[in-house]
Each structure stands twice: as structure tokens, then as C-alpha cells.
Amino acid sequence: MLNIILFGPPGSGKGTHSIKLAEKMQLYHLSTGDIFRSEISNKTLLGIEAKQYIDKGALVPDDLVIKVLLSTLEKQEKAKGFIFDGFPRTLIQAQKLDEELNKKGIPIKLIISLEVNNKEIITRLVKRGLESGRSDDNEEIIKQRLAFYNKQTAPLLEYYSKQNKLYTIHGVGLIEEIFVDICKTINQQK
């Protein structure tokens, strides 16, 4: 089973490349945002519990996020592997995810980190905000999201590097060229 984490700051292309990888390699795409929306709309016990935090504007606790992810994994028995899009976000989440996946004998195989400079990210996200009307894609909020990423999420690079699972891809350029680089890296590690 091939389990991959696609990692990078907001606007680095994680979502775009995760979807393309899922299609090409027949992996199940795991986006925590999509999963929570589905659990909430289906009124599952986990969804109801998560909604209580979301409605208050609070972050869903790590234990609940892991439960929801594991529940989703268990429903996908025939999957050839999983691609985690934007998760984990903190060291605690990474450690808990590793612990649970190792228990099941399906560890994370590799982490692809898309490296994109802040200026490029701000340009991409402001443009996306103008095109899509997303209110969180304005320069002030983007800078806050990048600060959170650098404080909470970037330390995961060291965590996964120590496990010899981290591979860095330059995330600026044509989407097709970046995707080819990602695929080459994955194929070399299979």
C-alpha cells in the first residue's frame, strides 16, 4: 500500500497535485476539510462532535481529527493507498497518525514537500481570491496563515526528514512539470 503525504504551505499546489496523483496512481484522496464536511452532512457521530467545535470557530482536537481519518481509511478497504492532502498540520498529529498507521501495518511511505516562496504564495492566493471570491484569500489573512504554517507545520519537515521519508520538490513553474517531478520522486521510492 502506497501512503503519501503532500506537504507545503497554503497555495503551494497541494490540492491540485493531490487530486492529480489520486487519479494517476489510483490512491484515495484524503482532505480533512472534505472529510469533515461529509461527516457533518451525513450527521455521523464523529461529524456531530466535530461540528460542535467548528460552529464555535475552534480547531477540531487532534484526537478527533485522527478518529475521523481512521474511520475514513477503514471505509476504503480496496484502496491501493492514500494521499493525505494538508494533513498532518502539527507534530502531535503527525506522531498520532504514524502510531495508528503503524499499528495497522500501513505506514506513510513518503512525504513530498512542495517548496514555494512566500511572495509567490501571496500572489497565487490573492489571484485565487479575486477569481473565486474566497474571503480568506486576501493578503492579511494569507500572511497569518503563512505565519501559522511556519510556526506549527514547518517543524514536520524535520520530523519526517529524520525518518528519511521527506522529498522536496520545487513548486514553482508549470503545473505539468511540477507533477512530472512529483511522479518521478514517487516512482523512485516505490
| Higher per-residue pLDDT: 175 or 137 | 175
Of 83, 80, 114, which is closest to residue 8 (Cα–Cα)? 114
Domain boundaries, the chain: 2-181
Task: Read off the pLDDT of residues 111-159 as tens digits, 9 standing for 90 and up.
Answer: 999 999 999 999 999 998 899 887 778 888 889 889 888 888 888 999 9
At position 76, the amino acid (one-letter code) is Q
Instruction: Indicate if the pLDDT at residue 162 is higher than 90.
Output: yes
Instruction: Enter the pTM of the model.
Output: 0.87
Angle 62-75/32-41 helices, nearest 10 degrees? 80
The pLDDT value given to residue 21 = 96
Q: Which fold has domain 2-181?
A: Rossmann fold (3.40.50)
Residue-by-residue DSSP string for 65-84: HHHHHHHHHHH-TT-SEEEE
Q: What share of the chain is helix, strand, coil (3-state, %, to 5)?
A: 60, 15, 25
